[in-house]
Structure 1
């Protein structure tokens, strides 16, 4: 589950702000339980437990279903979330001027991918899945999501910096996950990022996720398939390269001081990686975050 630092995630934070509800989550992580069983473990009345269970259900943490029991209809509660990821706002301390470029995920200019792989628009799959040749289709420009097991996609982006402008920082943000047929939250993948042919570093995606439906994912997209990714930000500074604040290499902005008209950005899963778990890129019409690949350059 992906959480934000805004009002949309308040039900989640409120649900977790209770020792009783945390204990309910702990009990349900071990097995499914009905209200009576939870009440016995918590030493509370069924009425009180029902209110706590409703709060957890509203937050999307558990699912409650009515089933036939020995003494009639009973409500069985199931924990449906294994992990919660919180995306904090990204802040740049200095008051730099910026250039911002947003590139749809289907606007790649080079690729070499292996199945399982595919692309989809907001309306349908773009060609049959697991056939890399459809990454050449002109319809790829409409893609809102793409995925592959190993290989790369590369994007050309305009570099609006002028010769008199001094590059201070580069931020590259995107929604991404591993690639597993259908979904698997425990499917690590070592993903390498490169800019202008220079490897920025590697990040390990924990898996891909379908424990909840993507907020932006089109209605036609099957619920059994990967629904959303994690919003990640690569940051290149004068001190090194980071992903969400964690250092991944010593590559600095100095490597990109030579002004050229374009940036070349590559997302890659190498064949020799320790975890060849693929990758999925989400555009603004899929997943949880209404954005494409966004590159922001800071300058003086």
Structure 2
């Protein structure tokens, strides 16, 4: 990944930096064509090949190929090749979540916002109440027995890189900032790679996934499917390609203004003060499927060595 793209997949450029000028022009040209903007929208939920983009947007395949090349040159999308029935197929996926061009000069007197971040392995959960089908697999091999919830209490669970279950909840305790951090949080965000769960995989398998923080229900989002059909970028070779391969990266944010999903405002029923972050030694995150969910399609959670994104579950306070 380019050094102008942050680990959080934010592209930041500044007119004050002459080294950024060429990339500013490339990105601006890439975004100046409406069909290219439509392609970016098509890639929000999952990676797609050129034929899928051509069919969805009713654009000739040759035009899609040119547009994709321009977007890739501007570092707005990833392009890779996967073996298919007729040779290799070009797949496109989202590279950045936001694009910022600064038209200002740095103000030295302004101190950067303080930030506290913890990455939690998906297998290091503190509590779970789940139902089969379920299971865990690691970077090297599967963990325990599939479809037996008792597996989730094995000490080897710490090595898990992908966990899945049909229904229920799983909780993680993140350490609260130490007093030495001197951090008064005005924003909390959680990001993780996730998808639905069904036998093998099904790209059209919705699941309503709910997130709680400190036992406060924060938000529900719908995963569109249990994604497969090509190997995830970081999915280990031992895992069969006929099974779940990757998810989508979700970001849940709570501020003084309310709740945001993937930087889009959702509601103001819960605000940062409702989470009572200063009341305990840990911040409890719970992810799962509610009993009354409209789409009870299961859940897969991915670690940094599985799926399309090299991260586990990340909590950030600002």
* Alignment correspondent of 2:310: 290
1:165 is displaced (CA, Å) by: 3.2
- Tell whether 2:239 aligns with 1:252: no
Q: Deviations over 1:174-230 (max 9, x none)?
A: 000000111001100000000001000100000111122111111100000010000
For structure 1, list consecutive stretches of 5 or more residues without a partner in the other structure.
18-23, 31-41, 43-47, 67-76
Q: Is the 8 A contact 2:82 2:230 kept in 1?
A: no
Q: Deviations over 1:54-80 (max 9, x none)?
A: x9xx854894528xxxxxxxxxx9x89
Q: Is the 8 A contact 2:193 2:248 kept in 1?
A: yes
1:249 is displaced (CA, Å) by: 3.4
* Alignment correspondent of 1:35: none
* Residues 115 and 245 (structure 1), Cα distance of their counterparts in 2 relative to 1, 3 Å cut: same
Question: Which residue, out of 206, 209, 213, partners 1:191?
Answer: 209
Distance in 2 separating the partners of 1:5 and 1:238: 23
Distance in 1 separating the partners of 2:185 and 2:234: 34
* Alignment correspondent of 1:133: 150
* Alignment correspondent of 1:266: 286
* Alignment correspondent of 1:121: 138
* RMSD value, Cα: 3.5
For structure 2, list consecutive stretches of 5 or more residues without a partner in the other structure.
1-8, 12-22, 37-49, 70-78, 103-110
* Residues 102 and 59 (structure 1), Cα distance of their counterparts in 2 relative to 1, 3 Å cut: closer
Indicate the SS of the match to 1:290. coil
Question: Which residue, out of 46, 51, 75, partners 1:25?
Answer: 51
Structure whose alpha-carbon radius of gyration is higher: 1
Q: Is the 8 A contact 1:103 1:292 kept in 2?
A: yes
Distance in 2 separating the partners of 1:157 and 1:27: 40
147-156 or 242-251, larger mean C-alpha shift: 242-251
- Tell whether 2:103 aligns with 1:86: no
112-121 or 253-262, larger mean C-alpha shift: 253-262
Instruction: Please give the TM-score of this superposition, normalised by the length of structure 1.
Output: 0.73
Distance in 2 separating the partners of 1:254 and 1:5: 27
Distance in 1 separating the partners of 2:80 and 2:215: 43
1:90 is displaced (CA, Å) by: 5.6
Q: Deviations over 1:137-190 (max 9, x none)?
A: 111111011001100100011011539532110111100000011100110000
- Tell whether 2:247 aligns with 1:229: yes
1:87 is displaced (CA, Å) by: 5.3
Q: Is the 8 A contact 2:114 2:183 kept in 1?
A: no
Indicate the SS of the match to 1:147. strand
* Alignment correspondent of 1:214: 232
Distance in 2 separating the partners of 1:61 and 1:234: 31
1:270 is displaced (CA, Å) by: 1.3
Q: Is the 8 A contact 1:197 1:264 kept in 2?
A: yes
Indicate the SS of the match to 1:116. strand
* Residues 91 and 134 (structure 1), Cα distance of their counterparts in 2 relative to 1, 3 Å cut: farther
Q: Is the 8 A contact 1:200 1:248 kept in 2?
A: no
Provide the aligned length of Structure 1 versus Structure 2.
249
Question: Which residue, out of 282, 299, 303, partners 1:279?
Answer: 299
Q: Is the 8 A contact 1:178 1:187 kept in 2?
A: yes
Instruction: Please give the TM-score of this superposition, normalised by the length of structure 2.
Output: 0.69
Q: Deviations over 1:239-294 (max 9, x none)?
A: 01111023333211111345121000000101211000011000001001111101
